[in-house]
Amino acid sequence: MRKLAMTNAPSQNPETARTALYGDLTGRFVHNLILESCHKNAARTAIIDPSCNRRISYAEYGELVESVARGFAAAGVKPGDIVAIFLANSWEFCVAYHAATLAGAVPTLLNPTYREREVCYQLENSGAALLITDGPNLDGINLASLPNLRRIYYTRQPASGAEPFSNLLIRTAQPLPAPSKASGETLAALPYSSGTTGLPKGVMLTHSNLVSNVYQLLGPNGSAFNANDIFLCFLPLYHTSLPMSPLAGSSAARGRLLPFE
């Protein structure tokens, strides 16, 4: 295995080099990083999904994100709405996440092993308007008591009362909203804590929070990634420490993400 070299910015004070960022955060949204990489590296592979043996190029990934974002908007998603993602690691998780932020919505991420009590609690507490999941995840779960939940989509296996995720991929001219607030004031994720000492609580992460994570990874004291690297994502994508930083980081480095499940 190739050892990744560490590089330092020679002109920086050693006391501050460790926390130096790759670039200016001003006005940077997570989906900006993704879509820019998709345009710059169109022919390269962005994601390798072993759960369905699918490889997705950067060009295709950008098209998927934009299509689903417009699908969300056409389905009535408004800026600030909560879109819940209740999936195992997969390309659909990644697309749903970035499409939600592009549509101005806020993704809330659920552990795919949750059962009815945990699922209903998070959906109700967050006020989720849409749910992206898959049929087996909803076995034995009744969501009828959630008045804010307007629509449910399944990715691969049908579920009662749910629409196919492919409906969101139907091309539409639905316009996408422009950001109304600065990136440091706009939420990019609403993961929930584990609830160790009580009920889980929503953690409000802004676009600036997540972009800074990526810029720290690529910063002058970061790792020397290159376009041939594969980022093995062995952690669950729903995890509070991981709201899509791996994909954004691998995209910025022109590498490939392997969302190991």
Q: Provide the greatest CA pair distance for the chain.
A: 60
For residue range 13-37, list pLDDT tens digits in order.
Answer: 544 554 555 677 888 899 998 898 8
> Among candidates 167, 246, 185, 219, which has minimal Cα distance to 17?
219
For residue range 116-128, list pLDDT tens digits in order.
Answer: 999 999 999 999 9
For residue range 95-152, list pLDDT tens digits in order.
Answer: 999 999 999 999 999 999 999 999 999 999 999 999 999 999 999 999 999 999 999 9
What is the CB neighbour count within 10 angstroms for residue 30? Answer: 29
The whole-number pLDDT of residue 121 equals 97
Query: Taking each helix axis from N to C terminus, what angle separates 91-102 and 30-40, rounded to the nearest 10 degrees?
Result: 120
Spatial neighbors of 153 by CB under 8 A, at least 6 apart, are 130, 131, 132, 133, 162, 163, 164, 165, 167, 168
| Band of pLDDT at residue 1, cut at 50, 70 and 90 | very low
Judge contact between 245 and 97, C-beta under 8 A: no
| Band of pLDDT at residue 253, cut at 50, 70 and 90 | low
**Residue 205, Ramachandran bin (φ over 0: left; ψ between -120 and 50: alpha; else beta):** beta
Q: Domains plus CATH for the chain?
A: 43-255 (3.40.50.12780)
Both tokens of residue 210? 């997540």
Give me the phi and psi of 27, to 5 degrees please.
Answer: 70, 15
Residue with the larger pLDDT of the pair 248 and 99: 99
The whole-number pLDDT of residue 2 equals 40
Beta strands in 143-242 (DSSP E): 151-154, 163-164, 187-189, 205-206, 230-232
Residue with the larger pLDDT of the pair 233 and 95: 95
For residue range 176-230, list pLDDT tens digits in order.
Answer: 999 999 999 999 999 998 777 888 999 999 999 888 887 777 766 666 677 777 7
> Among candidates 261, 260, 259, which has minimal Cα distance to 47?
259
The whole-number pLDDT of residue 229 equals 77
For residue range 75-94, list pLDDT tens digits in order.
Answer: 999 999 999 999 999 999 99
| CA 113/CA 50 separation, integer angstroms | 19
| Band of pLDDT at residue 246, cut at 50, 70 and 90 | low
The whole-number pLDDT of residue 218 equals 72
The whole-number pLDDT of residue 10 equals 43
| CA 194/CA 203 separation, integer angstroms | 11
- For the whole model, what pTM was predicted? 0.86
From residue 68, alpha-carbon distances to 2, 150, 174 in Å are 37, 17, 11
Give me the phi and psi of 189, to 5 degrees please.
Answer: -165, 150
Ranges 160-164, 172-176, 230-234: which has the least confidence: 230-234
The whole-number pLDDT of residue 5 equals 36
Beta strands in the chain (DSSP E): 45-49, 54-57, 82-85, 106-109, 130-133, 151-154, 163-164, 187-189, 205-206, 230-232, 256-258
**Predicted confidence (pLDDT) at residue 170 exceeds the cutoff of 80:** yes
Spatial neighbors of 137 by CB under 8 A, at least 6 apart, are 86, 87, 112, 159
Residue with the larger pLDDT of the pair 167 and 9: 167
Spatial neighbors of 2 by CB under 8 A, at least 6 apart, are none
